[in-house]
Amino acid sequence: MWMYYLLACIPVAVGAAMWINNKNVVWWEWLASSALGFMTTAIVHVLIVSGMTTDHEIWSGKVEYVVHYPKWIEEYQESHTRIIGSGKNAHTETYYTTEHKTHHPHWSSFESYGGTDEVERDITEDQYNGIAKFLGGVIVPKRGSRHGFDGGDRNDYYCHNTKGEIYPITSVHSFENRVKCSPTVFSFADVPVGTPVFDWVGDDGNMATKRCLGAATASVNGFRWGQMNTRLGASKKVNVFLIGFGEKDSSIAHLQEAKWIGGKKNDLVLCYGGSRSNTTWAYVFGWTESMLVKRNLETILLENKIDDTIIPKVEAEIRANYQIKDWSKFDYIAVEAPWWGVIVVMLVMALSQVAFMYWATQNEFDKGGVENV
């Protein structure tokens, strides 16, 4: 990191030489170029470290209601200006024309994530129809906002949850992860290329993240697993994966942990081997203040058939003993900027300094205080 700011001293020396030897560079331009050098270094440094530490986690929520906004036509007055006359008699006149704008149909879901605020998300017509059917299928028309209405449908069409069921959805949010980019006691070994482990699943474009992976997809209903995540998400802030590795031995679960660098901020990852009726091993990882919940979940996986009947048992254990990791405990980890950042700093600084010094030598200020105009 010190190398970055050592480079920032170069503009100070170059600026001093320019100030001494070039009459077109005044003292405050030298100081400005020096300040620009340090500012450039600081900005690049912050951007590099931010890029290295930025990570993402999944929040679980539910759809509260969906809305269909149909096609309608808006009429409005568009103002124009034109010049009347010529020469000294010329003047500007404003006039108006009647215009029309088509508001095309679109669909939205309104979602909650345990708080009081609702989040709106654009969805497709097929998603609207599917969610509306799941929520009970009761479509209620309400007069929509239609300023300048001149045709089409005046109503918007709402479908609220009349069944009381959870339609699970997810959203991806960023957080600072110092663990993933610094050599510490929490560091994980590199996973060999070709190792049969899973990439971390974020937003797959289908509103709800797929969190049953491997053999678990055939054993446990992913939608019901998502409903469990929604119920736990509001209170425990947890994101629970279930991964089945079939006949592979337990070492694969540790490689999976290394691949995901221990999991994201709120991940709790349940891994197991064997068949749905005969679990041969279980391993649970994730950043949590409670080791007890991991060991208890491993026992649940080993002692029960892996199917939908395990969901309430897993949910009860997490509700009782899971505690999300206090991520501020990792603030002590220093993040060293990479060597290639030196090259970036040098390039950005060279471009900014050349541009600034060109301006300094070409502007109207010189040492005599005389403007060269």
Render 132-171 in DSSP notation, one character per residue: HHHHT--EEEEE---TTEEEE--EEEEEE-SS----EEEE
Check: CB of residue 212 under 8 Å from CB of residue 225.
Answer: yes
- 185-329 topology per CATH: Diaminopimelate Epimerase; Chain A, domain 1 (3.10.310)
Name which of 361, 357, 349, 335 is nearest 43 in CA terms.
Answer: 349
Count Cβ atoms below 10 Å from residue 338 Cβ, excluding itself: 13
pLDDT at 312 over 90: yes
At 122, the pLDDT band (50, 70, 90 cuts) reads: very high
pLDDT at 115 over 80: no
pLDDT digits (tens, 9 = 90+) for 161-180: 999 999 999 999 998 888 88
Share of the chain above pLDDT 90, in %: 57
pLDDT at 356 over 60: yes
φ/ψ of 193, rounded to 5, equals: -60, 135
Tokens found for residue 15:
């600026």
Residue by residue, DSSP assigns 70-105 as: --EEEEEEEEEEEEES-GGG-EEEEEEEEEEEEE--
Who contacts 304 (Cβ-Cβ below 8 Å, separation ≥6)? 279, 310, 313
Check: CB of residue 273 under 8 Å from CB of residue 245.
Answer: yes
Name which of 50, 56, 55, 10 is nearest 337 in CA terms.
Answer: 50
pLDDT at 257 over 80: yes
pLDDT at 372: 45
CA distance 161 to 138: 8
Q: Which range among 19-23, 169-173, 229-233, 279-283 shows the weakest confidence by mean pLDDT?
A: 19-23
* Mean model confidence pLDDT for the chain: 88
CA distance 282 to 299: 8
CA distance 2 to 4: 5
Count Cβ atoms below 10 Å from residue 127 Cβ, excluding itself: 17
pLDDT at 112: 94
pLDDT at 49: 76
pLDDT at 140 over 60: yes
Residue ranges per structural domain of the chain: 2-56+335-362, 60-160, 185-329
pLDDT at 186: 64
Mean pLDDT for the stretch of residues 93-113: 95
Please indicate, yes or no, whether the overall pTM of this predicted structure exceeds 0.95.
no
Task: Select the highest-mean-pLDDT range: 202-206, 236-240, 356-360.
Answer: 236-240
At 81, the pLDDT band (50, 70, 90 cuts) reads: very high
More confident call, 223 vs 24: 223
φ/ψ of 47, rounded to 5, equals: -65, -40
